[in-house]
Amino acid sequence: MLRPISPFVIVFLACGILTACSSTPADPTAGWSPNRIYSEAKDEMNGGAFDKAIDLYEKLEGRAAGTPLAQQAQLEKAYAQYKNGEKAQAIATLDRFMKLHPASPALDYALYLKGIINFNDDLGLFSWISRQDLSERDQKAAKDSFEAFRELVTRFPDSKYAPDARQRMVYIVNALAQYEVHVARYYYKRGAYVAAINRAQAALAEYKDVPALEEALYILMQSYDALGMTQLRDDTRRVLEASFPQSIYLSQGLKPKSNPWWKLW
């Protein structure tokens, strides 16, 4: 036989339900229009409150779904994520935008921003130059940045972002070549001449018309000399003299440059 529920139990359960309800924070944007949400998100962005801006842009994406304003919110959310240090999330947001809106007039900006995010990751490429441990590092960010810029200038050659993208592509190629040469120098200075030859040859084979090739040829020549490979040493010297008639390496050796090219950016 079922027993009747005690009035005390009913009151206790009611209090529990009310407590649970009261612990759920109210959404302050519940009555806002999409335009107001967008305006507030912009204000938070301008004030540097990127985490708050991200939340507002996400709300706007849902409230204004299917409109140009929702697309704009996606792009600005990606930028806010990037500024907030959430680079992986920013890239994911941009990839989603490009997949959902392949004909968007803002596609060039999305590609540019994707390139910029990875490009800034790549600036760490040279943070290891002054350190003793020159172990291999992942260059995926640099290559992803190059690919985003390449797609931008190929598909949208007249975009206002294209000139800057082209300059950054040149920088990235120089950076990747210089990376290979610095690793070759690292091996050479430690007597790992075969490894130095392999890295110098890799730079020479993969990159053309970049400043780092002068040093690559010198390291190659010196490594051949250290191994007693005189014919290859002399052949490499002829190539170095023909390609860089005023080479400072032939007169100064492997001395630090007073004005590294990457500091000119």
pTM value?
0.75
Q: Quick check: 100 and 153 in contact, CB under 8 A?
A: no
The whole-number pLDDT of residue 139 equals: 77
Could you tell me the residue range of the domain that residue 50 belongs to?
A: 36-87
- 170 & 263 share domain: yes
Alpha-carbon gap, residue 12 to 73, rounded angstroms: 45
- 69 & 200 share domain: no
Name the 3-class secondary structure at 247: coil
Helix axes 50-63, 34-46, angle to 10 degrees: 160
The whole-number pLDDT of residue 4 equals: 56
Q: Integer distance in angstroms from the first to the last C-alpha of the chain?
A: 85
The whole-number pLDDT of residue 170 equals: 92
Spatial CB neighbours of 68, under 8 Å, sequence gap ≥ 6: none
Q: What is the CATH number of the domain that holds 216?
A: 1.25.40.10
Domain count along the chain? 2
204, part of any domain: yes
Distances from the Cα of 195 to the Cα of 3, 48, 199, 220, 236, angstroms: 85, 47, 6, 10, 17
Amino acid (one-letter) located at 87? K
Q: Quick check: 163 and 172 in contact, CB under 8 A?
A: no
Alpha-carbon gap, residue 80 to 56, rounded angstroms: 11
- 132 & 51 share domain: no
The whole-number pLDDT of residue 259 equals: 46
- 183 & 235 share domain: yes
Distances from the Cα of 193 to the Cα of 187, 222, 238, 248, angstroms: 7, 9, 20, 21
Tens of pLDDT, residue by residue, the chain (265 residues) = 445 555 554 544 555 554 544 455 678 888 899 999 999 999 999 999 999 999 999 999 999 898 999 999 999 999 999 999 999 999 999 999 999 999 999 999 999 999 999 987 544 444 444 443 333 455 788 889 999 999 999 999 999 999 999 999 999 999 889 889 999 999 999 999 999 999 999 999 999 989 999 999 999 999 999 999 999 999 999 999 999 999 999 989 886 554 454 444 4
